[in-house]
Structure 1
C-alpha cells in the first residue's frame, strides 16, 4: 500500500510519483534475482544508478547551479525511503553517493565546487566514502592512513575498510591523517578512481545487501593534487562528523522503507492466508502485532522527517539525526523479524522476500555509526557532556 505523504511542494509530490514509477518498473522486478546472483559474483548495479541519475535522483539535496536538484532534505529522504522499499542495496548506494558529495558541497571553495560538483552531480558518476579503517571504525581519531605533503600534491598511504562501491566508484571522498594531533590532525581529499596506486581488496562476503559491494580500498603512494583537499588541513574530523549527521538520516529513511516493505508483505500474506476456515489476519493477536509494527514505522518516519526539517531550517540536528537512525534501524530489525514470523515457514524460504528483508535490516544497526554510538551521541547532547 503506498504511503500517504505530506510533501512541502508540488515538485516534491511529482518526484515521489516519479520514483514510485521507477521502483515499479526498474527496481522491484530485478531486486530478488540480482541479490541472489551477487552472492557468488559481487556486482554493483551501475545501470540502475544510471537510470536514477538520468531522472535526477542522485543529486536531489544539492544546489541546482552545479547540477543538483535543490530539494529540501525533507523531500530527498522520502525519495530514499521509496527506493528502500523497492531495493535496499540501491537505497543505501544512493545515500552513500550523497554522502560523498557533501565535503565538496559544504567545505569546498567556489573554484573546487565549480570544478568538481557538476561531475559528481551529473548522475553519470558514483562516489565512495573512505572513512573507516580495519582498526578505526567508530573511533575516527585513531585512523592511521596518512597524507604527506609533497610540493603541490599529497601522497596518501593506508587502508580503508568496509567501503561501499569500492572498485566501482568514480571518486573517493577520503579522510587521512596530515598530522599527529589526534582528531585535529585529519584532512579530507577527493581522490579520482584512476589515481595511480589506488587498488581494492576482495569484496566482503556479507549476509545481505549483496548488490552493495563492500571491500577495502588500498592507498599505495597515491598522489593527489592539493587542490583536491576539501577544507583546511586538520578540518577532516569536523567534515566527517557533519557528513555523518546527514548520512545517518539517509540510512534512517532507507531502513524505514525496508520496514514498510516488510510490513506490506506481512499484512498482505495475513489477509490471503487462511487457517481454520478464515484469514489469519482475523486473529486479534496478529492484528495487534501488525498495528504495533505500523506504529513503529510511523515513529521512525516521523523521527527522520523532524530531523530533516531542522536541517532544512539551518538548525542543529545532530542529536535528532542520531535519534532517527536509532529508532528507524531498530524498527527495521523488529519489523523484518516479525514479518518472517507472520509468514511462518514460508517466511524462512527464498520464495518470499521476507528473509532477504530480515538479512538486510541487520546491518542498518551497524553502519553509519552503530546504534550504541547513536546512544552515546544522544546521551552527550542530553547531558551536556
Structure 2
C-alpha cells in the first residue's frame, strides 16, 4: 500500500497498516524527511518521540511509492489534492482503490474531495477514511475508531467482502485501531469538512472565556448544520451522528491538540491571525474550508449560521464579539424541523458579554 503524505496523520495511518502486516510506501514531499524516517525509524518532524513499526519505507519518489501497490491512501492538505492527483495521473494502474484521509470541500468548484479525485483520476474506486482520530494517539495504538466509506456497486453488494471498503477496513483493523464500514461517502465527507469549521467556532468562544454550555450548544447545532448539508447533497442524516460526524466533531472541539480548536481559541483571546501559532505558517483546514463550505451551502440554499459566522470573522473582517452576538440573537426556531417555527428573539437588546465586560 502507499500513503501519500508524511505528515502526522499520514505517518500514523502508515503505522497502523504496517503493524497489521502490510508493506507500506510513505511518500514525503521533502527528500530529507524521507531519508530521516528511513534512517531513524521515526518522524521527528511530525510525530516526535514515537517509534514507527517495521514495514514502512519512506520515499520522495512518486514512481517508487506507487510501484506495485494494491491500494492508495492520500493524506495531503485538501487545498493541494487536485495538484496531487495530477502528479500521479498515469502512474497508477487502473482500478486501484483510492481512499482519502484528508477533509474538505474544494474552493471554487464546491466539489467534495472524492469528486475531485474522480474527475482527475477516472477508473478508480474512491472512498474515505474519517473519524475522531488524533494522529499521535493513533500511532501509539490508543483505542481508536474510524469509518471507511466507499460507494457500494452492485458487485460489492453481491460480494461485500471483496469490496474496497471491507478490504481496506481489514487492512486497517488490528491493535488499537477499529474501523467501521459505510456506503455513504457523501455523509462521511460532509462530516469531515464541516466539523473543522465548527471547531473553530468552539475555540473562538472558549478563547473568549465561555465554557461548557456554549461548547455543547455549538457542537449540537453544528451537527444539525452537517445533517442539512449532507442530506441536501444526497447523504444520510444518520451518517452524521456516527464516527465521521458527531464523533469527529466532539473530539476536534474538545482539545487544542486540534489545530482548528487551537486557532479559534487564539482568535477568541484577541491574538491577531498573523501572530497565531507563534507566527508560524500553520495550515488549518477549517480556515481554508470555511469559505468553500459556505460557498457550497449558499449555492444549494442550505442555512449554516455557525459556519457563516466563522467565515465572516476569518475572511471578511467581521468583529468576533458582534458576529457571535448576532448568531445568538437570531430568530428562535423549533429543533425538530417538522415543527417549522421561527419567531423573533424576545430580548433583542441584550447581548453576550465579551472581554472586560464579561
TM-score, normalization by structure 1: 0.28
Bigger RCO of structures 1 and 2 (CA < 8 A, at least 6 apart): 1
